[in-house]
Amino acid sequence: MRVLVVEDEDAIAEPLVEGLDREGYDVVRVATGQEALDADEADLILLDLRLPDIDGFTVCRELRARSDVPIIVVSARGEEVDRVVGLELGADDYVVKPYGLRELVARIRAVMRRRDGSTRRDVLRVGPLEMDERARRASYDERELQLTAKEFDLLALLASDPGSVVDRETILRRVWETTWYGGQKTIDVHVAALRKKLGDPEAIETVRGIGYRLRT
């Protein structure tokens, strides 16, 4: 598996590359945003936000616009607003420095499981929504949707029991593999993004104080 590390500080990048190499990953490191945009496509990208030439958020947005490659932001910027912006721009996860290598590897594996994992059934249809869970492709009104890994997982979870309410705790546990309360805002951001991509704000209904449901 090829991992692209986008990090300008040698003191951080070198031990990270060595650690990932020991874990069996094929690691390529670049130090600027432009190098990240010019690099050959990887299976996963670890993206720092503070780069010397291009803001990391801009790099994230441009990468997501042209590819669905999994992106994990790795940054010292740990404020909630930074997390929300990063996820809203298409990052699949957000890790705050300092972090442990074991935690980072676990995050990588979790993201790839969600991306590549097999599913209960191949094709799921709910009204105008069709989801091929094995190929991880989705369409709405016969229009293909460009979804991030977590957007796909969230929509698949809601579509697995259409009309039923899925509470926020279940969404955090099943999609983000966490029960961290601070992730509540992240759910709202992803639901808003899904509504926009579906082109139907009423397709996903908010059940106040509980969670969300997919309209049948």
Right CATH number for 2-116 from 3.30.2000.10, 3.40.50.970, 3.40.50.2300, 3.30.1050.10?
3.40.50.2300
> For residue range 20-70, what is the model confidence (pLDDT) as tens digits?
999 889 999 999 999 999 999 899 999 999 999 999 999 999 999 888 899
Give dist(CA 165, CA 205) in Å, integer. Answer: 9
**pTM over 0.85, yes/no:** no
Q: Measured at the alpha carbon of residue 105, what is the angle toward residues 99 and 111, in degrees to the nearest 5?
A: 110
* CATH class label, 123-214: mainly alpha
**Common-topology check for domains 2-116 and 123-214:** no
Helix (H, G, I), strand (E, B) or coil at 113: helix
Strand positions, DSSP E, the chain: 2-6, 26-30, 44-47, 71-75, 93-96, 123-126, 129-132, 137-140, 143-145, 166-167, 204-207, 211-214
- The ranges assigned to domains in the chain are 2-116, 123-214
Number of Cβ within 10 Å of residue 52's Cβ equals 10
For 160-196, letters b (16+ CB in 10 Å) and e give beeeeebebeebbeebbeeeeeebeebbebbbebbee
Q: Which residues of the chain have pLDDT under 50?
A: 118-121
The predicted pLDDT at position 86 comes to: 85
